[in-house]
Amino acid sequence: MKKTQKTVLLALSGGVDSSVSALLLKKQGYNVIGLFMRTLREYSTTNKACSSKQFTDEKFAKIISKMLRIKLIILDEIKPYKNKVINPMIQAYQKGLTPNPDITCNKLIKFPVLMKEAKKIKADYIVTGHYARIARKNEEYHLLQGTDKTKDQSYFLYELTQKELSKLIFPIGNLTKEEVRKIAEKNNLPNYNKPGTRGICFIGKMPSIKQFLENKIKKRKGKILSPEGKFLGTHEGTAFYTIGQKIQEHLGMRINKPKQFAQKRYYIAEKRKNNIIIAAPENHPSLLKRSVIINNLHIINPNQITPRSGLTARIRHLGQLHSGRLVNNNRFVFSKPIEGIAKGQSIVLYHKNQVLGGGIQSNPKP
């Protein structure tokens, strides 16, 4: 009896990763349908780079779908993206937090839209070009790091649920970026050498998140103090900076270093109320934190006993994996004090190469 061809709905962004994912599944015999989500047009009046980038990505998605002879669905997600991702991100920065809009986008836009559209067209699976893997064991689905540790994107996926994982395929999770580009070039895909997305997806070619925020948040001159409370200099507003960031004049931060630290680099140790930044020289104790509260902790495998020790944690994408232990399901204690813990940023927990889950960093303690 002839097997029924499985249908997959694939998030086709126009980049090389999603294009190669489509190619691989096509060769495996799947009926591949592409889905391109528009999210950027809203900002074309203030950011031509965004408008240009959106047009380029959509154009590439159309070219790839035509080359591979797959149907392409184009959905307008501009308004939901603005309301659920961009506006909350701006509000978080205004409060002095450091949000992660890519994770928010995955949770509230990308995967819900894929699941809804897949159900609508009766697709068997949904697909993305993430560098991550999925394993099934004891009727549960486990999220694993991608094989290419320099491109691993599991950090952005810790909010995935069992329902989503059961329907998900990551075709390039076992490949390196170099292998993906070689496959694309061998198969004459025009985007084989297209640069990967850097930073936040809607900024386009803008040099930094600071420049984007300056269009949305008014500058507000504030004080930079030493850990001892002495005046060092000024900045343009706590919303534009993050914990662990180096003090740099071209970013609007100006300080007069004490003579004993004149040759030392200074970093942001804390952001306080009343628009105050605490800065400290490199290796200063105030830069180090031993633990952090995890708000809204999401566990991917709720029926699995979460180990309290033998864990590692990332406090930013592709950042160092720090060893430590989970206490009371809401606090992570690091084996050694670390730098750069930013309130509002995500902390993701790992056990070996498995992603256990994660949440939002709050209240770091020395």
Rounded Cα gap, residues 206 and 280, in angstroms: 29
Residue 121: name the closest of 3, 22, 10 by CA: 10
Q: What is the number of helices (H) and of strands (E) in the chain?
A: 9, 18
> Residue 296: what residue type?
N
CB 359 within 8 A of CB 295: yes
Are the C-beta atoms of residues 18 and 129 closer than 8 Å to each other?
yes
Angle at 132 between CA 131 and CA 134, to 5 degrees: 150
What 3-state DSSP class applies to 65?
A: helix
201 is catalytic: yes
What one-character DSSP code corresponds to residue 213?
A: H
Catalytic residue (one of 20, 61, 201, 224): 201
Q: Is there a contact between 309 and 325 (Cβ–Cβ < 8 Å)?
A: yes
Catalytic residue among 24, 105, 172, 277: 105
Q: How many residues does the chain have?
A: 366
CB atoms within 10 A of CB 323: 13
Q: What is the 3-state secondary structure (H, E, C) of 308-342?
A: CCCEEEECCCCCCCEEEEEECCCEEEEEEEEECCC
CB 85 within 8 A of CB 104: yes
Quick check: is 50 catalytic?
no
Chain centroid to CA 243? 17
Taking CA atoms, 277 is separated from 242, 273, 343, in Å, by: 10, 9, 14
Catalytic machinery residues: 105, 201
